[in-house]
Structure 1
Amino acid sequence: MTPKHIWSGGWEAESEEDARRRAEAEAERLAHPERYEAPTTVHPTATGADEERSGLGRNRIIALAAVTVLAVGGGAFAAGALLDNNDSSSKGIARPAALPAVSSKPITPTRGQTRAGTIYAQDSPAVVSIRTSSGSGTGFLIDGDGTLVTNDHVVESATSVQVKFGTDGRTLRGDVKGVDPSSDLAVVHIDPSAVPSGVKPLQFADSTGVSVGDVAIAIGNPFGLDRTVTEGIVSSLGRTLTAPNGFQIDGVIQTDAAINPGNSGGPLLDDGGKVIGVNSQIATNGLSAGNVGIGFAVPSNTVRQVLPGLRLGKTVSHAWLGVHIEAPSGLSPSTPSGAAITSVTTGGPADDAGLQAGDIVTAVDGQPMDDSTDLSTYINSKAPGDKITMTVKRNGQTQKIDAVLADQPPKVP
């Protein structure tokens, strides 16, 4: 039986061409091993006919183990990062309440059926394929008003997309209501009357309840294959990724459930069929853009906070300090832990406050900062306009420096 795919086009030829290129690269690597270190890379998991225009070809990111320089702040959304503004004419978000989280209990499969099969039968009708002029990805229905969730890097700059439910042959128009490159999330709206009969929206779980080793089930459209399900576990928590605009996404869920190009924007589900994350990126060994068992999902609590504003067409505001940071070099008993400032953005909050390259931030508002991730995560939990007090080591001396956080720029300066 020929595999079913919901979009016409050359995805099969593209896959064969990718396989040919990978085979050639592997042959070259085997012939000249001294030239290759097989670096790990992280790719957004959208797919398209033109790799340079798709989510896969742009924004290639060095793997987490190699990432040492982070742009602070930005990245994952935190509740404090919304503008408190109820003016509907404002470009800022109106601080609507977060989408609710529901309790999740493991589904008990019927006799002769697996848990993954039961969850797939329940949830897959709400999973859609999203296609733009440059590529395709996945999305899923979250309410009865025609609201779909996907990745920012799936819709890119499009204002409208094509949407298909796997249970329905029609191509629907989807209007992009809002995007947040800092969390790699987007909202697409379709006519609710066009949703196929019987399709139930997916619900969000509280991602703080997720533990390493929990069941993780992904549903998406890898290489255009309609609503493919894969199962694994939660491999790790609290990872960080680089967002499409270069800032940092915090609290990311790592999974070994197979995720491939085309899975972007699809749901990562727990054993109760509730959404714990939105699949966004995969790590590879540099020779292949396919799954090697390391995938990453934006956590559901980030999604729950960002989506109400995006659904209203508002802009999400993130706090920004305006520094690049890394772990202090030459760690030894005499080297302080903390976040080392490698550069300061001219005219940014850190520059205005007097921070300098070479400073090591060891605490903020009395909370210890053990490394660069701690500082980034703390800034991401604040809102523009918030004042922070940093404890800074400079030339062996400790001092306190106050800064007022600003709105994050559209991309890393």
Structure 2
Amino acid sequence: MFPIIPVILLWLPFLINSEGLKAQLTEDEKNTIEVVKKTQNSVVFITNIQLVRDFFSWTEEAVPRGSGSGFVWDDQGHIITNYHVIEEGDRFNVTLPNQEERSAKLIGKEPNRDIAVLKVEGSLKGLYPVKIGSSSNLLVGQKVIAIGNPFGFDHTVTTGIVSALGRSMPGVGGVTIRDMIQTDASINPGNSGGPLLNSSGELIGMNTMIISPSGASSGVGFAIPVDIIKKIVPQLIKYGRVIRPGLGLSLLSDRYGQQLGIDGVAIVEVPVGSEAYKKGLRGLTRSRFGRLAIQDIIKEIDGKKVHSYDDLYNLLDNYNIGDKVTLTVERDNRKRKVELTLVQED
């Protein structure tokens, strides 16, 4: 009997401490634990693989290009992540929470919003869709929870708050992503594409980028709001790209517009016979000496100021194909208004 007594005595404090620990958890800690339990099986690890051809033998070798996070969108096996996570990849592997690795194919991408959709091939067993929330009612100061795979450490959980709303950050597609959520929840390389959750375990954003001189978390992270994701993902699943409204015009990029000191968006080309052409809009022309001359510059759309192509691109997101808009255009320092019907952008 004597050898058994120490064993019992060793286990007794452990049991007391374990129960004591549970009792000592704050309500906030209990909430975080509950959210993680509910959502951790919706988060996956994504490996981007590039096929590299050997210069001499012409054989292809699969080389891991990068990795990131993603989350299960629906019961059809669609995985949402950042475009920059899968950029330039040829193959994609998705590691599920149970460590099972599956291959996935690219369904659609929208570089200008840094969003991509993959679909897991084969069985859908082990895939649990995340609960979709809303980002329209977020408040600065409210609690957020980030789950991802920073530096390859899978299912890492960090917490923080909504530090600010309505932030604008440059996207990988060259267009500013607006209305981003700023958070102090620790986000590191590998967190990209992972979910940002509220205290109810609902998806409110996708962790996308950080501002940091060192490349590691500095308490300034940014997430794409779920309301933007909800608008784009169905189109990527259905069409493989976003069907956007446009003016049917060729426009000057911000890079050249800034070099020329243009305040607005210069029209480069107007298709002959188009509505815009019939209403007198004109693009760049050349003098007999070969010098380019700017004709019409878009200054406003429905009374909203347009200082750049970036402004125009984001403003058009509020419209649908077939809507009518009124442009304020300037030529030779004279302004006039032109009504156009929005068409599908190529």
TM-score for both structures, normalised by structure 1: 0.60
8 Å CA contact retained: 1:211, 1:234: yes
Q: 1:112 aligns with which of 3, 25, 33?
A: 25
The CA distance in 2 between the partners of 1:191 and 1:396, in whole Å, is 58
The aligned amino acid for 2:198 is: D
1:257 alignment counterpart: 185
Q: Which runs of 5+ in 2 are unaligned?
A: 1-21, 50-64, 284-293
User: Counterpart of 1:271?
Assistant: 199
Asked if the contact 2:144–2:160 (Cα under 8 Å) also holds between the matched residues in 1, the reply is: yes
d(CA) in 2 for partners of 1:194, 1:257: 31
Answer yes or no: is the 8 Å Cα contact 1:325–1:340 preserved in 2: no
Pairwise CA distance, 1:223: 0.8
1:111 deviates by 6.9
For 1:233, which of 161, 179, 189 is the aligned residue? 161
SS of 1:276's partner is strand
Distance 1:176 1:370 in 2: 35
Residue 240 (structure 2) pairs with residue 309 (structure 1): no
Residues 183 and 249 in structure 1, CA contact (< 8 A), matched pair in contact too: yes
Q: What pairs up with 1:149-168 in 2 under 5 angstroms?
A: 149-158=80-89, 160-166=91-97, 168=98
Deviation at 1:131, TM superposition (A): 0.2
- Residues 263 and 350 from structure 1, CA distance in 2 versus in 1: closer, same or farther, beyond 3 angstroms? farther
Q: Which residue of 2 aligns with 1:124?
A: 40
Match of 2:79 in 1: 148
Unaligned runs of 5+ in 1: 1-108, 330-338
Deviation at 1:251, TM superposition (A): 2.2
Q: Which has the higher contact order (CA 8 A, sep 6+)?
A: 1
Secondary structure, aligned partner of 2:68: strand
Tell whether the 8 Å contact from 1:323 to 1:350 is kept in structure 2 after alignment: no
1:137 is the counterpart of 2:68: yes
Q: Structure 1 residues 273 and 305, CA, compared in 2 at 3 Å: closer, same or farther?
A: same
1:141–1:201 contact (8 Å) kept in structure 2: yes
Distance verdict in 2 for CA 1:151–1:385, change over 3 Å: same
Note the aligned Cα RMSD (angstroms): 3.4
Residue number in structure 2 paired with 1:381:
318
Cα distance change, pair 405–249 in 1 and its aligned pair in 2 (3 A): farther
3-state DSSP of counterpart to 1:297: strand
Residues 390, 300 of structure 1: alpha-carbon distance in 2 compared, 3 angstrom cutoff: same
Tell me if structure 2 keeps the 8 A contact 1:324–1:344: no
Q: Do structure 1's residue 182 and structure 2's residue 104 form an aligned pair?
A: no
For residue 263 of structure 1, what is the amino acid of its counterpart?
A: N
Contact 1:145/1:192 (8 A) holds in 2: no
CA, structure 1 residues 245+290, in 2 after alignment: closer, same or farther (shift >3 Å)? same
- Once the two structures are superposed, the pairs formed by residues 323-338 of structure 1 within 5 Å of their partners are 323-324=252-253
1:204 corresponds to 2:159: no
SS in 2 for 1:193: coil
1:347 to 1:394, Cα distance in 2 relative to 1, 3 A = closer
Instruction: From the superposition, tell whether residues 135 and 350 of structure 1 become closer, same or farther in structure 2 (CA, over 3 Å).
Output: farther
Residues of 2 paired with 1:220 and 1:296: CA distance? 14
* Aligned: 1:400 with 2:337: yes
Compared with structure 1, are the counterparts of its residues 340 and 274 closer, same or farther at alpha carbon in structure 2 (3 Å cutoff)? same
Q: Distance in 1 between matches of 2:340 and 2:318?
A: 15
What secondary structure sits across from 1:288 in the alignment?
Answer: coil
For 1:49-64, what aligned pairs fall within 5 Å after superposition?
A: none
Question: Could you say which structure has the higher strand fraction?
Answer: 2
What amino acid does structure 2 have at the position aligned with 1:257? A
1:340 maps to which residue? 263
Q: Distance in 2 between matches of 1:165 and 1:293?
A: 28
Structure 2 distance, partners of 1:357, 1:281, is 39
2:177 matches 1:215: no
**Quick one: distance in 2 between partners of 1:231 and 1:306?**
27
Of 310-319 and 120-129, deviating more is 310-319
Partners of 2:23 and 2:234 in 1: how far apart?
36
Alignment size in residue pairs: 284
Correspondence for 1:170 among 84, 95, 100: 100
Q: Deviations over 1:364-402 (max 9, x none)?
A: 22x443866764432222245544212356676542134
Distance 1:203 1:384 in 2: 30
Shift of 1:406: 5.2
Return the offset for 1:275: 0.5
CA contact (8 A) 2:266 2:298 kept: no
TM-score w.r.t. length of structure 2:
0.70
Aligned letter for 1:125?
A: N
CA distance, structure 2, for counterparts of residue 179 and residue 407 of structure 1: 18
Higher Rg: 2
Superposed CA offset, 1:125-147 (max 9, x none): 21000001210000111222222
Which residue in 2 is equivalent to 1:23? none
- For residue 227 of structure 1, report the CA deviation from its aligned partner: 1.0
- Alignment check: 8 A CA contact 1:341 1:358 kept: no
